[in-house]
Amino acid sequence: MKVAIVGAGPSGLAAAFHLQELARRQARPLELTIFEATERPGGAIGTDEIDGFLVERGADGFLTDKPALLDLARRLGIEDRLIRTQPTQQGASIVKEGRLFPIPEGFSMMAPTGLRAFLTSPLLSPWGKLRAMSEVLLPRGAPRRDESVASFVRRRFGSEVLERLAQPLIGGIYGADPELLSLRATMPRFLDAERSSRSVTLALRRQATRSSQPAHGARYGLFASFDRGMQVLVDTLVHTLPPAALRLGAPVEEIIPTEQGASLRVGHQWTTVDRVILALSGKASARLLTPIDAPLARRLARIDYGSCALINLGFLQRFPQLTGYGVVVPEVEGRPSLAMTFASRKWAGRASEGRELIRVFLGEQLAEEADDNELLRVAQNELRALLGIDATPHVVVIRRYVEAMPRYHVGHLDRIAALEERAAQHRWLALAGNALRGVGIPDAVRAGELAADRAMA
């Protein structure tokens, strides 16, 4: 079996590892080639070690409530290198009128499960709190297949919870407008909680009594990473590849189906295989598939993507005013920053003793239009205004992610089901990547493994 994987991000690398597992299990010879357009594997994840700082290129961790990545770590033999968020720090803060306030203990993305902490929080008005607490009395909503996150939060908990709590927390994770974001595709547990228990708050309270850690907005107790950063995962996956299987700086420019599979062109060289796994963005896959199946390509191209800029700042001193894991900024504040993560407080080993590493996320317009000097200036202004930090950073690393984050609009899962049904007509083709059924790294891993299953079926 000859298989080509286009894209060496986490989804493509996970597909490659699982293909080898399947080939050994089935005692089938496998010839594997991974084409990566850039000069490094890993896609948007990876870690750079810079003068005593571990600087993540993208995501600094992952949620463990989806088991695909934990299971992969176990099979790779790196389970012992997993770490959790530091227990000495808890939760995060939200900006209100330029000041920082802690997310109420027990607040889970949109639902107040800790009554006392929620009622004493200054983040909402008395009316906003009363409206949110009245959710326990509301009837179950009419059955619906999908709904926007904003619609759901507004009808269950009110507009203040949406603007002041849910939007910054959910928007920070998915980089999307809650008015358009699909609840079923991103956080189905809330929709399921309403259907099964009528009240989302009561359902989450019952779950919380079975959990050893309270929620702090983004459920930080469920986050994990690796001792030397997410690069551990990339390096381990690459190490499992056959010699010369990974071809870097090799963008696939054309694919032509053949009687037995497909041929791929890189420069003037053609490679013929039985199966192709496209582990790319929706738009990149669409470009390759347009000459082959225009309706399928159009469906992929319609998946919306967002942008952001990440400014990593390493300081040679500690800042005692930093508490928790970071700060999220509601859109109603009108600030240029979306969030800040205190990486050296969140994870062990991200900065040498006596140092601080802070990640500042800036919005779409700045990411696409501002130069690096402007991004740095804006990030430092935000640190000064919100955290009182006026020190000069020792290390500055700026990353732009332009049209890099898929945004799942309402009805996304139905569109993906139709897209996958269309793709299944091409027996040589399998799709992977985070454009399909989940934006997190565990979702990308699972998509790669499912594509490998299809390729070897």
- Sequence spans of domains, the chain: 2-45+230-303+408-456, 47-65+78-88+305-407, 104-215
Cα 291 to Cα 14, 88, 276, distances in angstroms = 28, 55, 16
**Residues 183 and 195 sit within 8 Å (Cβ to Cβ):** no
pLDDT of residue 212: 52
Give me the pLDDT at residue 220, please: 45
Q: What is the pTM of this model?
A: 0.93
7: Cα separation from own chain's centroid: 17
Give the H/E segment covering residue 76.
helix 68-76
Please state which CATH class domain 104-215 belongs to. mainly alpha
Same fold, 2-45+230-303+408-456 and 104-215: no
CATH superfamily of 2-45+230-303+408-456: FAD/NAD(P)-binding domain (3.50.50.60)
Tell me, what's the pLDDT at 39?
97
The answer to whether the CB of 11 falls within 8 A of the CB of 257 is no
Q: Name the 3-class secondary structure at 116.
A: helix
DSSP 290: T
- Count H helices and E strands in the chain, helices first: 18, 22
User: According to the model, what pLDDT value does residue 145 have?
Assistant: 87
CA distances from 270 to 4, 32, 36, 265 (A): 12, 15, 15, 4
Alpha helix locations (H) across 175-227? 183-186, 188-197, 200-209
pLDDT by residue, tens only, the chain of 457 residues: 999 999 999 999 999 999 999 999 999 999 999 999 999 999 999 999 999 999 999 999 998 988 999 999 999 999 999 999 988 767 899 999 999 999 998 888 888 888 888 999 999 999 999 999 999 999 999 888 899 999 999 999 999 999 999 999 988 788 889 999 999 999 999 999 999 999 999 998 887 666 555 544 444 458 899 999 999 999 999 999 999 999 999 999 999 999 999 999 999 999 999 999 999 999 999 999 999 999 999 999 999 999 999 999 999 999 999 989 999 999 999 999 999 999 999 999 999 999 999 999 999 999 999 999 999 999 999 999 999 999 999 999 999 999 889 999 999 999 999 999 999 999 999 999 999 988 999 999 999 999 999 999 9
Class of the CATH domain delimited by 47-65+78-88+305-407: alpha beta
Closest CA to 238 of 2, 9, 404, 68: 9
Interstrand relation of 53-56 and 47-50 (parallel, antiparallel or unpaired): antiparallel
Q: Where are the alpha helices (DSSP H) in 231-358?
A: 231-239, 282-289, 294-301, 343-346
With a CB cutoff of 8 Å and minimum separation 6, the contacts of 164 are: 94, 96, 123, 124, 128, 330, 332
Taking the mean position of all CA atoms in its chain, how far away is CA 178?
Answer: 16
Scanning 333-439, the segments in alpha helix (DSSP H) are: 343-346, 364-369, 372-382, 412-423
Tokens of 110: 């949109």
Question: What is the reported pLDDT for 228?
Answer: 97
